[in-house]
Amino acid sequence: MKITRIVALLMAILFVIPIASSCGKKDQTTLYVLNWGEYLDPDLIKEFEKQNPDISINYTTTTSNEEMYTICATEGTKIDLLVPSDYLVERLIKEDLLAELDLENIPNFKYVEDVSSTRTFDPESKYSIPYLMGTVGIVYNTTLVDDPVTSWDILWDEKYAGKIMMYDSIRDSIMVALCKLGYDINTTNPEELEEACALLKEQKPLVLAYGTDNIKYDMIGGSVALAVDYSGSATEAIMENPDLAYVVPEEGSNVWVDNLVVLKSSEHKEAAERFINFLCDPEVTAKNSEYVGYTTPNSAAEEYLDPELLAIDSYHITEDILDRCTYFKDLDSDALALWNDVWMEVKTAN
Amino acid sequence: MNKKKTFALPYVVWMVIFTVVPLLLILFYAFVHRTDTGALVFTTEYIESALSGSSMSVLLLSLEYALITTVLCFLLAYPAALFLWQLKSRIGSIVNLLFMLPMWMNFLLRTYAWRALLDTSGPINRILQLLGFPAQQLLYTEGAVIFGLVYNFLPFMLLPIYTSFTKIDKSYIQAAEDLGANKRQTLIHIIFPLTKSGIITGITMVFMPAVTTFVISRLLGGSQTMMFGDLLENQFMLLKDWNTGSALAVVMMVLMLLSMALVRKSDDGVMPGGM
C-alpha cells in the first residue's frame, strides 16, 4: 500500500512541476530547434536569447538526415526549426511539411540571396534559407603525394595502394565513381550505376579504410596519403597539419548546403523567422562559421572572418567550384534501392 | 508471496513494453504486407528477400567474427578464471577487480583509445621501430577488429566463468584426488562440468552482442566489410524498408536461438556424471 502512495506522490510532483514552471513565464515562446551536432556555436544561442528575451531556445541535435526526417515527419512533433541538407529539403517540400517563409521578416536574407538562387531544390527561397555549405573533395598529404592532384583518377592510382581513404556513405562514395565516369551524380540509370559499382570494386584493394569523422584524424596523423572528405572537415585538418591540401577535382563533385526551414506544424513561425534572420547576420554567421569550420553562404561575412581561416583553400567555395559541382537530389525508394545494391556489392566484395 | 509479486510488477511492465511489444512489432513488420488499398496480408516475401545471397554473406561474416571472438574469449577467460580461483580469496578479488576495472569506462572511449594505440604513428609502432622493426599497419585490419571484439567482450566471458568457479565445493576436488585422479583428469572430469553453466552464460553474453556490433568494425576495421549491424541500419534508416529490416532481424533471431540450442545440447552431451 505504501508503494502506491509513494508512486501517487511522485506522479503528482511530476505533473505539477511543469505546470508551475510554465506559469512563471507565460508570455515566453519556446522555440524548438533541431540541428546537427557541433553545428552551431552555443554562445550564439545565448546571444539571441539576450537580444530576444521573449524567446527561449530548446536546442536538440541529431546525427543524420535520416534521423532528422524521422523526427520531423512524426505527427505531433514539437520541432519548429531544423537544418536539413539539400535533398531532405526537397523531400520535405514534396511531402508538404514545410511552412512558407515570409522574407520580409528576414531582412538579412539579402546577404545569402546569391547562393540561395543556385539551389536547385528551392531557387526562390520559398521554404528554406541557406545556413552553411561545403563541398566534397580530396584531402591529400603533400609530403606523400608528388603527382598533381586535379582528378578523381588519383584515387585509383596503384602507387598509393593502402594509403587511400574513401567516405563510408552510399551517396558520397558512389558519387566519386560517377564523377570519374562523367555521369550525373543523381543518376538512376542502372547501367551507369553498374559501371560505378565495377569501378569501386576495382578500387577496393587500394583502399585502406572507409571512414567518416575519423578521416580528419587519420589525415592529421600523416600516415594516409589521399582521402575523400568534406571541405569543412578538411579545413580543420589543414589547420592542424599544414602539409595537407584540399582540392575539388576538375570532373566535378557534390556541393551541398544545409538550410534553415520551419515546419508547417510550428506555432512559432514568427519567432523562428527572427532566429533565422539572426543567423543570417554577417557577424553572427562569421562567428558561427569559424566555430563549425564550414563555409558561410553570406556575401558580407568575409570582413568578420578570421584571416587564418580565409587563407585556407578548402574554406572557399568559388563560383568556379559551384559551376562544376552539383547538389544532391532526393532519390525515391526504388532509386535508393538501386544505389544500396551497388554499395552492398562493393562492401561485400573481397 | 503476494508482496513478492508486487515488487516484480515494475519489471514485468517494463519487459512487456520494451521487450514483448517490440518483438511482436518486428514479427508484424516481417510477415505482414500492407497493400495499396490498406489491407493487411500475410506474406513471406520479406523473409525471402532477407535470405538473399548478399544479406546472407553479410550475416555469415558477422557470425564468423562473433564465433572467432567467442572462442578466443573462452580460451583466454577459462585459464584466467582458473588462476583467479586458485589465488587466496582476497588477492583473487583484487585481481578480479583489475579485470573488471576497464568496464567502468565507456566501451566507445576505450575503442577510440585503441585507435590511437594502433595507429601507424602510435605508441605500439614506435616501440616496434625502437626495436628495429618496420612500422606495421595495425589499424584498419581484420586483426584489429577481432582484437577489439575480444578486448571488449572478454569481461563478459570471464565474470560468469569465475563466478561458477567460486561456487565449486572444494571437497569434490579433494574427493577426486583421494580417488587417484591426476590434475588433468580432475580438470576435465570434475572442474569443467561444474563450471559448465558459467561457460554457457559466457558464450551467450559474448556471442550474441558480437554478432550485431558494428561500431568496433567501423572504428578499428575501417568499414572494409559490411557487418550485420550496418545492414540493419541501412534497411531502416536509409531505405526505410522496415519490412525487410524486420525480416532480417527475425532471421538473425532464429539463427541465434538455433545456435544457442545447439550449444546447450552439445554441453548436455559432455555432462553425464564425469566418466
pLDDT at A37: 85
pLDDT per residue as tens digits for the range A9-64: 666 665 555 555 544 455 789 999 999 888 999 999 999 999 999 999 999 998 77
The closest alpha carbon to B82, from B196, B174, B166, belongs to B166
| CA dist., res. A101 & res. B29, Å (int) | 38
Q: What cell does A289 get?
A: 562559421
| CA dist., res. B164 & res. B124, Å (int) | 36
Q: How many domains does chain A divide into?
A: 2
pLDDT at B121: 82
Identify the structural domains of chain B with CATH numbers, from first to last: 53-228+253-270 (1.10.3720.10)
The number of angstroms, rounded, from the C-alpha of B162 to the middle of its chain's C-alpha atoms is 17
Q: What cell does A228 get?
A: 575523400
Q: Which residue has the cell 603533400?
A: A142
The answer to whether residues A120 and A149 belong to one domain is no
pLDDT classification of B224: cutoffs 50, 70, 90: confident
The answer to whether residues A161 and A174 belong to one domain is yes
The answer to whether residues A280 and A179 belong to one domain is no
Q: What percent of chain A has pLDDT over 70?
A: 93
pLDDT at A74: 84
Q: From residue A19, how far is each of A11, A30, A105, B120 by CA, in Å?
A: 13, 15, 32, 57
pLDDT per residue as tens digits for the range B23-46: 999 999 999 998 888 888 899 999
Residues 6 or more apart whose CB falls under 8 angstroms from that of A348 comprise B54, B57, B58, B61, B225, B226
Q: Helix, strand, or coil here: B120?
A: coil
pLDDT per residue as tens digits for the range A109-118: 999 999 999 9
Which chain B residues are Cβ-neighbours of A348 within 8 angstroms? Answer: 54, 57-58, 61, 225-226
pLDDT at B76: 96
- Check residues B75 and A293 and name the one with the higher pLDDT: B75
- Continuous H helices in chain A: 2-24, 42-51, 65-73, 86-94, 113-118, 170-181, 190-203, 214-221, 231-240, 269-279, 282-292, 307-310, 319-324, 333-348
Residue ranges making up the domain that contains A269:
2-133+257-317
- The helix or strand, by DSSP H or E, that contains position B76, with its residue range, turns out to be helix B53-86
CATH assignment at residue A178? 3.40.190.10
pLDDT per residue as tens digits for the range B77-95: 999 999 989 888 788 888 8
Interface of B with A in 144-183 (CB under 8 A): none
pLDDT at B275: 35
| CA dist., res. B221 & res. B225, Å (int) | 8
The answer to whether residues A190 and A151 belong to one domain is yes
pLDDT at B204: 87
| CA dist., res. A139 & res. A306, Å (int) | 22
The closest alpha carbon to A278, from A48, A24, A27, A28, belongs to A48
pLDDT per residue as tens digits for the range A181-199: 999 999 999 999 999 999 9
Q: What percent of chain A has pLDDT over 90?
A: 79
Name which of B219, B224, B226 is nearest A344 (Cβ-Cβ).
B226
pLDDT per residue as tens digits for the range A294-332: 999 999 999 999 999 999 999 999 999 999 999 999 998
- Check residues B69 and B86 and name the one with the higher pLDDT: B69
* Most B-contacting residue of A218, A241, A243 (CB-CB within 10 A), to test interface: A218
Sign of the CA dihedral with B129 first, then B110, A167, and A259 last: negative
The answer to whether residues A299 and A191 belong to one domain is no
The answer to whether residues A239 and A269 belong to one domain is no
CB-CB under 8 Å, B226 with A66: no
pLDDT classification of B273: cutoffs 50, 70, 90: very low
The conformation of residue B101, written as its DSSP 8-state character, comes to G
pLDDT per residue as tens digits for the range B169-190: 989 989 999 999 898 999 999 9
CB-CB under 8 Å, A3 with B222: no
pLDDT classification of A4: cutoffs 50, 70, 90: low
* pLDDT (mean) for B228-232: 88
Interface of B with A in 193-212 (CB under 8 A): none
| CA dist., res. B14 & res. B203, Å (int) | 26
The answer to whether residues A82 and A138 belong to one domain is no
The number of angstroms, rounded, from the C-alpha of B60 to the middle of its chain's C-alpha atoms is 15
* pLDDT (mean) for B63-78: 95
| CA dist., res. A248 & res. A321, Å (int) | 7
Residues 6 or more apart whose CB falls under 8 angstroms from that of B60 comprise none
The answer to whether residues A179 and A247 belong to one domain is yes
**Nearest residue of B to residue A223 by CA position?**
B120
* pLDDT (mean) for A285-300: 93
pLDDT per residue as tens digits for the range A221-275: 888 999 999 999 999 999 999 999 999 999 999 999 999 999 999 999 999 999 9
Question: Is ipTM beyond 0.90?
Answer: no
The answer to whether residues A313 and A340 belong to one domain is no
pLDDT at B271: 45
pLDDT at A237: 94
**Nearest residue of B to residue A168 by CA position?**
B223
| pLDDT higher than threshold 70 for residue A80 | yes
The answer to whether residues A266 and A303 belong to one domain is yes
The answer to whether residues A193 and A295 belong to one domain is no
pLDDT at A12: 60
Q: Helix, strand, or coil here: A160?
A: helix
String of DSSP letters for B12-59: HHHHIIIIIHHHHHHHHHHHEEE-TTS-EEE--HHHHHHTSHHHHHHH
CB-CB under 8 Å, B58 with A333: no
The closest alpha carbon to B54, from A343, A171, A339, A332, belongs to A343
pLDDT at A11: 60
| pLDDT higher than threshold 50 for residue B165 | yes
The answer to whether residues A338 and A244 belong to one domain is yes
